[in-house]
Structure 1
Amino acid sequence: MTKRRARNLDDLAIERIVGVLDGWSGKLSWDLLSDAIEKRLGVRYTRQALDKHARIKSAYQVNKTRLNKVSSPERHQKISAVEVGALTERLNRLEAENGRLKVENDSLLEQFVTWAYNAYLKGLTKEYLNTPLPRVDRELTKVASRKDVRRGDKG
């Protein structure tokens, strides 16, 4: 029996995978992530397929860094009631912030789709739109403004 190719990652699948990473605790590796995704989505993706998507790659790297900072003795410390209260307050604040950021993100994605469509109508290519901004040479600006001041130029 041959293995069937996994379906392409769409926005919904990427969102769900990033959600898996957001809630991750314990050891994290691409293989463990692939196992968790297979359990949740019923499809197994390779490390290469997951790493190819910027949101997944970024979420993986952020969580890997976060998990490496938390050493095992710190994870198993007992905490006081005051600390529980502070953590609960922080959790509530972060949940509210997360909700607000999701709304902002959805709005920005909607704006991006509008811009992409309008750019398409004008015949602008992805390569053209991804051209880096020109480098700002602040030193040149300072020198030019000093010359203007010395000459008494206005405005």
Structure 2
Amino acid sequence: MPKIVIDRDSKKEIIRMIDSWKGKLSWEELCIYISNNLGLDNIVSRHTLLRHDDIKIAFANKKKILKETPTNNIDIGDKALEKAYERIKTLEAKNSRLEKEISVIKEQFVRWQHNLYKYNYDMNLVKSRIDEVLPDFDRANRKNR
């Protein structure tokens, strides 16, 4: 059975790495960078990363931003101001990525809604059932199985 390299926490960290990436971005450079920062013995493959849609979206979005942004580095001189400038760039990349993810989710919702209607599901019944409250789950008192 293959070793699971990308879990929920490492996926968030990988997306953060992509959002804060500076300079030329390629899958090869990203794989090496991720492997070094996550302390992996082997270099994670591009195919492993491509299995995760949110990583694909983050990568494509960052590539687009890097292509559109001029590469001339501004030497401000003030370290705090330069750090703030970098923080702004990282937050802009994150914001752009999140907007793209929201767009994908909205498209998926509309597709599901259309398909439910197409197959003659009672939309009122679906709505009443899909909006049911989740049951409470007490993890503290859960017994190990």
What amino acid is aligned across from residue 50 of structure 2 in structure 1? D
Structure 1's unaligned 5+ residue stretches are 102-128, 136-155
Question: For residues 3-42 of structure 1, what are the structure 2 equivalents within 5 Å?
Answer: 6-42=3-39
TM-fit CA distance, 1:45: 1.4
Deviations 1:82-130 (A, max 9, x none): xx6xx76x94xx69xx7xx9xxxxxxxxxxxxxxxxxxxxxxxxxxx9x
Cα distance in 2, alignment partners of residues 80 and 31 from structure 1: 33
- Once the two structures are TM-superposed, the CA of residue 9 in structure 1 deviates from its matched residue by 1.3
Distance 1:28 1:6, change over 3 A: farther
Q: Is the 8 A contact 1:21 1:63 kept in 2?
A: yes
Q: Deviations over 1:50-93 (max 9, x none)?
A: 01101111110110001111232xx2245699xx6xx76x94xx
Same amino acid, percent of matched pairs: 30
1:65 aligns with 64
The residue identity in structure 2 corresponding to 1:11 is: R
Aligned pairs, how many? Answer: 93
**Stretches (4+) displaced over 2 A:** 5-8, 75-81
Greater RCO, 1 or 2 (C-alpha within 8 Å, sep 6+): 2
Query: What residue in structure 1 maps to residue 114 of structure 2?
Result: 134
In structure 2, the CA distance between the partners of 1:56 and 1:79, relative to structure 1 (3 Å rule), is same
Normalised TM-score (structure 2): 0.51
Assess, with a 3 A threshold, how the Cα gap between structure 1 residues 32 and 6 changes in structure 2: closer, same or farther. Answer: farther
TM (norm. structure 1) is: 0.48
Taking only aligned residues, the RMSD between alpha carbons, in angstroms, comes to 3.6
Mark the runs of 5 or more structure 2 residues left unpaired by the alignment.
99-108, 116-145
Tell me which structure has the larger Cα radius of gyration. Answer: 1
Q: C-alpha deviations, 1:3-51, integer Å up to 9, x for none?
A: xx65331101101100110110100000000011011012221111101
The whole-number CA distance in structure 2 between the counterparts of 1:32 and 1:45 is 11
Helix, strand or coil: the match of 2:112?
coil
3-state SS in 2 of match to 1:28: coil
| 8 Å contact from structure 1 (residues 6, 45) kept in 2 | no
